[in-house]
Each structure stands twice: as structure tokens, then as C-alpha cells.
Amino acid sequence: MRTPVMPSTGELRPLGTDEVRITGGHWFERQAVNAAATIRHCLHWLEALDWIGNFDRVAAGEAPGRPFQRAGREFSDSEVYKLAEAMAWEIGRTGDPGLEEEFQKLTARIGAAQHEDGYLNTAFGNPGQEPRYSNLEWGHELYCAGHLIQAAVARLRNHGEDEFTRIARRVADHVCDTFGPGGIERICGHAEIEVALAELSRETGESRYLEQARLFIERHGRKTLKENGFYYQDDTAVRDAEVLRGHAVRALYLSSGAIDVAVETGDDELLEAVRAQWERTVARRTHLTGGMGSQYADEAFGRDFALNPDRAYAESCAGIAAIMTAWRLTLATGDSRYGDMIERIAWNVLSGAVAPDGKSFFYANPLHQRTADPEPPADGALPHTRAGGNRAHWFDVSCCPTNLARTFAQFAAYIATTSEHGLQIHQFTPCTIDTVVDGARLALTVETDYPEEGRVTVRVDANEGGTREITFRVPAWAEDVRLIHPDGSVHEVDPAAVSVGRIGEFSPGDELHLEFSVAPRWTFPDPRVDAVRGCAAVERGPVVLCAESLDLPGGDLDELTVDTTVAPVERDGAVHVAARIHDRPDAWPYGPAAADDDGKAAEIPLLPFRLRATRGPAAMRVWLPVN
């Protein structure tokens, strides 16, 4: 089964990339660009910066006149592994022989650096380096091992056992030998090993890996790491926490691993604890774009409702990690509402984090860019802490590009699921689905221009099993929702009460149509989100829009206010809003009443947030001050 997550039990069964093929539209384009540009771009940079070369140097060892010198940060091995995972998914998707050759070359170089007992890391435990596991807080050794294991799971599911997967099995066995009961009973400062071991257990049937994942989950909160427990979720047991906190990517990888362990061990209390943490995090600590991790300091979740748009960190990796968590919750609970958040993040964080050409990336995804920063140079890695403004070709800490590459390559795995008698469509994209429901084949074709248009057509190509229930996730924001059955009957669907549209019997050629409005709409913040009080944003379907200074008379976004009494309109392929452009003098900006300068009326075009900074440097904002 070609899917990154394959629970042995749960409400829904995910369909793999061998069962769902994306055949057109935005995600088809993103996958094509990922294959043609992003994966090779990452490979280029990992070679150019010599992060892959670290494996060669470990293999060659130290010799007189050849001191061991390592390139990159202590966690750079993980980028090589995430790229390997992207390659494994892409090879499975297209069978690209050139990429397969690269994968095998990479395998040989990684394998040559593995120690006799399975240990594999280029930053510790080699000549001239600190000993293994001497810095669990910041060393990232188990984090790197986790990404290697996730890549191996991808390889096993897309190809089968080979040298790469054998390397990873030896690493996994070494981790269990070293960190099991009586061993080093501590955790890694960056969660990731948990989700990886749980999935390797699912794939191999080896219960030892699941047990080790469970141990790591249970050890969080026992304060086995020095200081900073909050930052790496070692302050409170996973099952006792009330909300996601600390470093956002760490928190969400940990949540994903905890759900996997909970599902596989029948630990309903743990599952419910993580689900509740997610709900509270969505309700209090998440930006309109779905971006998580609201503060630059520590790349972390901020306090409840502290959601500053211009200091939103909303790291691309946190978006990916949030999708990992939300997808696991979808599968475990069967609640389609998690798909709303997956869609929001996918369209606004993930898709915008990569340039249309696939060769530059956002690390942070703030909702407000105050200045039109110059474009970064093409030949140097940018500090990840200076990560707003424009996409960069690479970063000193470059977790996001390879993470995005693996996620796009596996994206078809997040589209649909099956249950005992039915099939559920969670994300709308042109695709073909060919699977087995209740022992009999069901094949469908999905056609749509979504989200340009709010119409999704599902055609039944084969149904060998009689009565089937096909279910759509209806987005919570959708209005005027109608489901048109094959007999032409029209059924109103209330997304507030019923998140799905259902229908039963099918024959080949039957068509179902789901229709709803994707007209642009004003969105207002809860007043508790005080950083954007007095502002409004525009969304169109799942797409969050923004204003860029390039489209403003005078080019000064600070002088823009909008009139929300006028509905946004679509014209010439863009959404326009009624606005006023002010020209306010420099003066003390506070007083007893609102300024009476009402400026000049104007109509301002908006663009999808994901397309910001694609026409050159610009100031940008999602939340627009209301006139």
C-alpha cells in the first residue's frame, strides 16, 4: 500500500498513491514541478554544500593529513533522508529511471557511513566528534534516524526491500537496542523517531519498533532532557498536556507519533488527549492560513490568541507536520472536519512555500510583510531566521525544501479513504480512484476545476460490489451546497449540520455532482485575536487572499483601508475589494477619535496568498484595516 500512514485499525482506511492518481489541476501541476525541478534542486544544493559529502567523509575515516571536517549543521543528514523519501515517492509515482539511479547512488553513500552496530550519523560518534548520544537535547541523532526510517518506509511501500531499507532496519534495531528498557531511557530533543518507528512497525509487522515508539512517547514529560522542557515537549506528559506548545514542528511530529502509538495500542485516552490538544490549538493558536507556530522566538506556538500577522512564523514544516497530525486524526476518528484544515494548510501554506518554478522556498510564512525586501542571491544559502519577504533558493537550516518535496510527491495519498461500505473524498482534485471496497472493485473519475469553480463531478467507472456509499467532505465555509444524484434529483446539503453528502447505489457511467459557492467572502477575526482587530480578510473557497503593494496606487500598503460593506467582486480573473487610499501626514498617530481623512476611493485587486512575492519584491498583507 503506497501511503505514508497505514494504521492497522481506525475508522477510515487511507488510499495509496497506487489507488489515487492526480490527473490534472493545481496539485497535478505542483507534483510535476516537484518532479521536474524541486527534487533535483534539493539534490544540487545538498551536493554543492557537501551535506551528502559528509557520508563520504565518515566512510573514508580520518587519516594523517586528512582531518575530519564536516559540512552543515548537526541535523543536515535529515535533509538527505527527506530528499531520499521524496525520491522514493516520486519513483513510485512515475518510475523515473534517472531518479532511481540517483537513489541507488545515494543509498551506497549513506550505507558506507554506517557503523558495524547500525549507528549512522555524520555529526556524532566519528573521529574527532563528540560521542554518540552525548547531546540528546540538541544533537538530533534520533531525529535524523527517524527521517531515514520514514524514507525507508516510503521505499518499502513503493519498491520493496533493498539496501536502503536494510540500512534503515539496522538503524531502527540499533535505536531499540540502545534506548530500550535498561538502556538510555531518555528522548531526543526533536520528536520524529516516534512517528517513524510506529510506521516501520506497521510496515514490517515488527512489534519491537512500536514498543520503542511507545516508550519514547511516554518518556516525554519526565524531564530527561536538560532545561527547555517546554520547547521540546519534555515539560508535561503527552497525555496530560492541554494544548500544543513549544517548538511547533517538534510538537506536531510528536502529536503524529502519539496518535500512531495510541491507535496501534488501543490507547483511547492518549488519542483523546492529542485530539483535544489539536482542537484547542486550532481554536486559539492558528492563523487564518492554517499556519501554526505564531512566534519567531523558538519557532514556537505562542500564547492563546497571540497571532500577530507580521510576526507569524508559521513555518512551512509546521504546515506539513500539522497535515500529518490532521490526517491521522481523520483516519482514527472518521471526522471529515480535519480535512478542512488540511485543505487550508495545503492551499495557503504548502503551495505558497514553493515558488511556481519549484526552485525557491519560504521557510516562514507571515501574513503581513511590511517592506518590499530585496530578492535573495541565487548562489548563497539564506539564514532561515530572515525568512519572510521573498523565497530563497536554500537556507542554512534547510528543513523546509526537502520536506515540501516529499509531501508533494505523496500528495495523492491525502485525497480519499474507504470504510467498510463506502468511499470518502476529502480533497477535491481531478483524479482517478481505483480501489476495493468491501471485497469488490470500485473505480471512479473525479473531474473539477476546484477551487476556481465549486463543482465536483464523480463518475463511476466500475462498481462490482452493488450498494456503495460515496461521501464528500463539504467545507465548513461552503454555502449553497447541493448534491445532484445520478437520477438528476437535487439534494440540499447543510455543511453546518451534515459535513458530508451521501448516496448509495451506482452503475458504471453514473455521475454525481457536488456544487457549492466559492464566491469571495469577507472574513473577520474573533475579537480575542487582538493583533488584527479592526481588520478583515478575503477568502475565496479555501484560498486566502492578500493585497500586495505592487497593485496599490502610491504603493504604500499602510495607506490602505477597505470597505467591508461592499462584497468582493471578481473581474478579469482577480478578486477586487472596495478600498480607500489615504495620504496621512507624519504626526502623532493617536488621538481622541478616528482620523477624519477618508482618502480616495479605489478598487484594489487581491491575489492568492500562495502567489505573494512571485512578481518581484512587494509589501503584502492578508488582514486589511477596515475603513
Nearest distance from C-beta of residue 410 to Zn ion, angstroms: 17
Query: Shortest CA distance to 270 belongs to which of 199, 185, 314, 328?
Result: 328
C-beta of 317 vs 342, nearer to Zn ion: 317
Query: Shortest CA distance to 454 belongs to which of 351, 343, 346?
Result: 343
* Inter-residue contact 521 to 477 (CB < 8 Å): yes
C-alpha cell at 537: 480578510
Q: How many CB atoms lie under 10 A from the CB of residue 14? A: 25
Nearest distance from C-beta of residue 314 to Zn ion, angstroms: 11
Nearest distance from C-beta of residue 318 to Zn ion, angstroms: 7
C-beta of 400 vs 531, nearer to Zn ion: 400
Nearest distance from C-beta of residue 292 to Zn ion, angstroms: 12
Q: Distance between CA 263 and CA 255 in Å, rounded?
A: 12
C-beta of 349 vs 619, nearer to Zn ion: 349
592-596-601-606 Cα dihedral, nearest 10 degrees: -10
DSSP state of 499: S
- E-strand ranges in 310-454 read 368-369, 416-418, 422-425, 431-437, 440-448
With 0-12 CB in 10 A as exposed, 13-18 as middle and 19+ as buried, what is 611?
middle
Nearest distance from C-beta of residue 317 to Zn ion, angstroms: 3
C-beta of 358 vs 520, nearer to Zn ion: 358
C-beta of 399 vs 622, nearer to Zn ion: 399
Query: Shortest CA distance to 417 belongs to which of 485, 486, 333?
Result: 333
Three-state SS across 507-536? CCCCEEEEEEECCCEEECCCCCCHHHCCEE
Nearest distance from C-beta of residue 249 to Zn ion, angstroms: 6
Nearest distance from C-beta of residue 294 to Zn ion, angstroms: 16
Nearest distance from C-beta of residue 89 to Zn ion, angstroms: 18
Q: How many CB atoms lie under 10 A from the CB of residue 120? A: 24
Query: Shortest CA distance to 124 belongs to which of 138, 111, 106?
Result: 138
C-beta of 317 vs 456, nearer to Zn ion: 317
Q: Distance between CA 314 and CA 75 in Å, rounded?
A: 21
C-beta of 317 vs 346, nearer to Zn ion: 317
The helix (run of H) or strand (run of E) holding residue 49 is none
Strands 574-581 vs 600-608: parallel, antiparallel or unpaired: antiparallel
Q: How far is CA 296 from the centre of its chain?
A: 18
C-beta of 400 vs 503, nearer to Zn ion: 400
* Inter-residue contact 604 to 560 (CB < 8 Å): yes
C-beta of 209 vs 313, nearer to Zn ion: 313
* Inter-residue contact 580 to 598 (CB < 8 Å): yes
C-beta of 246 vs 422, nearer to Zn ion: 246
Query: Shortest CA distance to 298 belongs to which of 185, 460, 436, 190?
Result: 190
Task: Report, in this order, helix, strand and coil percent for the chain, each rounded to 5.
Answer: 35, 20, 45
Q: Distance between CA 620 and CA 622 in Å, rounded?
A: 7
Q: Distance between CA 128 and CA 123 in Å, rounded?
A: 10
- Would you tell me which residues interact with Zn ion (CB under 5 A)? 315, 317, 399-400
Nearest distance from C-beta of residue 591 to Zn ion, angstroms: 43
191-193-196-199 Cα dihedral, nearest 10 degrees: -100
C-beta of 199 vs 315, nearer to Zn ion: 315
C-beta of 323 vs 400, nearer to Zn ion: 400
C-beta of 324 vs 399, nearer to Zn ion: 399
C-beta of 289 vs 463, nearer to Zn ion: 289
Q: How many CB atoms lie under 10 A from the CB of residue 613? A: 23
C-alpha cell at 220: 516525554
- E-strand ranges in 373-520 read 416-418, 422-425, 431-437, 440-448, 455-463, 469-473, 479-484, 490-493, 500-501, 511-517
C-beta of 126 vs 402, nearer to Zn ion: 402
Q: How far is CA 56 from the centre of its chain?
A: 31
Q: Where are the alpha helices (DSSP H) in 35-75?
A: 39-48, 53-60
C-beta of 320 vs 415, nearer to Zn ion: 320
Q: Distance between CA 5 and CA 199 in Å, rounded?
A: 7
List C-alpha distances in Å: 341 to 289, 307, 319, 335, 412. 9, 17, 10, 12, 17
Nearest distance from C-beta of residue 226 to Zn ion, angstroms: 24
